[in-house]
Structure 1
Amino acid sequence: MSQIDAGKAAEGIGTDIPSRLPQRSMRRQQLAEFWYYFSVNKGAVIGLVVFAAIILVALLAPVIAPHDPAIQDRGALLLPPFWQEGGRAAYLLGTDAVGRDLLSRLIYGSRYSLFVGVVVVSLAVSTGIVLGLLAGYVGGWVDTMIMRIMDVILAFPSLLLALVLVAILGPGLGNAMIAIALVLQPHFVRLTRAAVLAEKNREYVTAARVVGAGPVRLMLVTILPNCLGPLIVQGTLSFSNAILEAAALGFLGMGAQPPTAEWGTMLAEAREFVLRAWWVVTFPGLAILVTVLAINLVGDGLRDALDPKLKRS
């Protein structure tokens, strides 16, 4: 074999199929390493199992919910859970003030909470990455203008700013999601900008620029993939924040509106029955607590697995 052929073989030129095998092996090794560092954190594994169960419950809500969440039984107002005196097996967790099955409403409420988290994080991440890439790569007055706007947003308490925005846009779940996404966006802008500033002067970026890569390709293809670790962790933690903010807005009457089976709205409807019907407040609150805790535990595990500084030997 000539030196040229040997060079081509070493570079993988003309040997596409064999060259893919090491890449697949490397991906498997990376996944195995990721799972090892993730699974070291037992809390993260438990959180992942709980979160997966919540997703499964949300997907199978029409199948596993014993009743329609909107149907009212006027003969079963404020029934306690089945294990208390006066409870019924047909309503395992009791009913609310208008006779709706609490378990069914909790199951369907998981759909709204996960939907809010997915939409809010998608909006915040997409806009935050775009603005962060522009601020970090372009610099100058563009950077200054974007970051000063983000500083103004961060200067307000997140819930207060979300309340103001929903008051301007009008109450409702859609407007609440837009407001929460705007409140969470500055965290992604700052993370992306910091990562771009650290990466844009490295050798691989300079090499891509020399061979003719344009600014858009440099930002999206060359730099962005190396900035995803912190963004994934922040996105996971923002998912739980979005659920909490949506529940808070629903509790204040500015989020999802009755009779929507959303956990925050359920808490708002049950305020006047706290002392005489503990279940109508306790179970929606526990649902929010368990979901947010599970997501935060997963976020901690992702941080351990994706941040080289935190990987344990």
Structure 2
Amino acid sequence: MLRITLTRVIGVLPVLLGISIISFLVIRMIPGDVVNSIMGDEFSDPAVEQQLREYFGLDQPLHVQFLNWFGMLVQGDLGVSMRSGAPVLDEILLRLPATALLAVSALVVAIIVSIPLGVISATRRNGVLDATTRVGSLIGLSVPNFWLGILLVYVFAVTLGWLPSQGAGEGKPFPENLTHLILPAVTLGVTLAATSMRMVRSSMLEVLGQDYIRTARAKGLAERLVVTRHALRNSLIPVITVLGMEAGALLGGTVIIEQVFSWPGLGSLVIRGISQRDYPLVQGTLLFLALFYVLVNFIVDLIYTLLDPRLRHVR
């Protein structure tokens, strides 16, 4: 187990190096820089622009800029925002709780919806409920989540007035501010639920056809115990992998939804950094999101190994 863990850790290092290079280069492919964003077109002064570029280090060659940034990165310093002057790590940690809350809530919604429906669909194969859930999952995969978010806002916020449509409920008491979480969490959770429900169904169908399931039924074990104790437990191994990958992607996948619902998280922070050409802010946030994704997948690999003892002996 220790050998597998060390192998996974070593494999993560080149991935993070590649992500740091990509995050550094991608933002610089956009026309303009932070100096153009600050000065604008009406107040352009070549002398002032040159001074600002020297101040921000943008006058140096691209490889020198990368080495300077990477040198701070290996020391745990993500740099300082070019616009606010605040440390990038502080900006990320300030927005992280809101995004983490939204991502975890969406994951909970997906689990609550997908696992029961996937099990019922598999145990009642080719029935009306099975057909309904399959059609519903197909719709959930096909509908863009930003369009679904706008639709939910129109129905439940604008038309019915049941739920708030914007913000995270800052300053409101505990039960009331949770109402701001419902619409964005459902919007993100629906797509994830559609994916995981199809995985639960297919995995359950495969397990229910195994010999040990037929043996359990032949011994007279109740169908409920056959499904929950034997079939469901073994069918969840690939489902956990899918949920883990989706959970890692959720933290970065909230960008559009945060814009739709004006949610004060990392997504809106990235959008602000891109619009202002704030290189350290965008680079640091993208790297942080990528690190979280890699970490979640690393944890999923370990859980997968614990659930399936055969993988512990793979060399």
On whether the aligned pair clears a TM of 0.5, the verdict is: yes
CA distance in 2 between partners of 1:171 and 1:43 (Å): 43
2:139 maps to amino acid: V
Q: What is the identity, as a one-letter code, of the residue corresponding to 2:261?
A: M
Q: Greater relative contact order (Cα 8 A, min sep 6): structure 1 or 2? A: 2
Question: CA contact under 8 A between 2:109 and 2:189: conserved in structure 1?
Answer: yes
1:203 and 2:211 matched: yes
Q: How many residues align?
A: 236
Residue 146 of structure 1 and its aligned partner are, at CA, apart by 0.8
| 1:265 aligns with one of 243, 264, 268 | 268
Aligned pair partner of 1:133 in 119, 123, 128: 119
Gaps (5+ residues) in structure 1?
Answer: 1-31, 50-79, 86-90
- In structure 2, the residue matched to 1:107 is 93
Structure 1: distance between partners of 2:235 and 2:129: 20
Q: Contact 1:172–1:254 at 8 Å: present in 2 too?
A: yes
The one of 231, 245, 270 equivalent to 1:237 is 245
TM superposition shift of 1:266: 1.5
* Shift in alpha-carbon separation, 1:158–1:179, aligned structure 2, 3 A: closer
Corresponding residue for 2:286?
285
**Normalized against structure 1, the TM-score is what?**
0.61
Using the TM superposition, give the Cα deviation of residue 142 of structure 1 relative to its aligned residue in structure 2, in angstroms.
Answer: 1.6
Q: Is the 8 A contact 1:246 1:255 kept in 2?
A: no
Q: Deviations over 1:131-182 (max 9, x none)?
A: 1100001222221111111112112345544554456552445122221111
Distance 1:184 1:92, change over 3 A: closer
Q: Structure 1 residues 133-142 or 155-164, which shifts more?
A: 155-164
Q: Which consecutive residues of structure 2, in runs of 5 or more, have no partner in the other structure? A: 17-51, 58-76, 157-164, 169-180
Q: In structure 2, what is the equivalent of residue 59 of structure 1? A: none
CA RMSD of aligned residues (A): 3.8
AA paired with 1:243? Answer: L
Identical residues among aligned pairs (%): 16
Structure 1 segment 166-185 matched on structure 2, within 5 A: 168-169=155-156, 170-172=165-167, 174=181, 175-185=183-193
Residue in 2 that maps onto 1:55: none
TM-score (norm 2): 0.60
Per-residue CA distance 1:88-109 (angstroms, 9 max, x = gap): xxx9843575676543221233
Conserved 8 A contact 1:37-1:311: no
Write out aligned runs for 1:86-165 (5 A): 93-94=79-80, 102-139=88-125, 140-162=127-149, 164-165=151-152
Which has the larger displacement, 289-298 or 149-158? 289-298
Shift in alpha-carbon separation, 1:149–1:167, aligned structure 2, 3 A: same
Change (3 A) 1:151 1:269: same
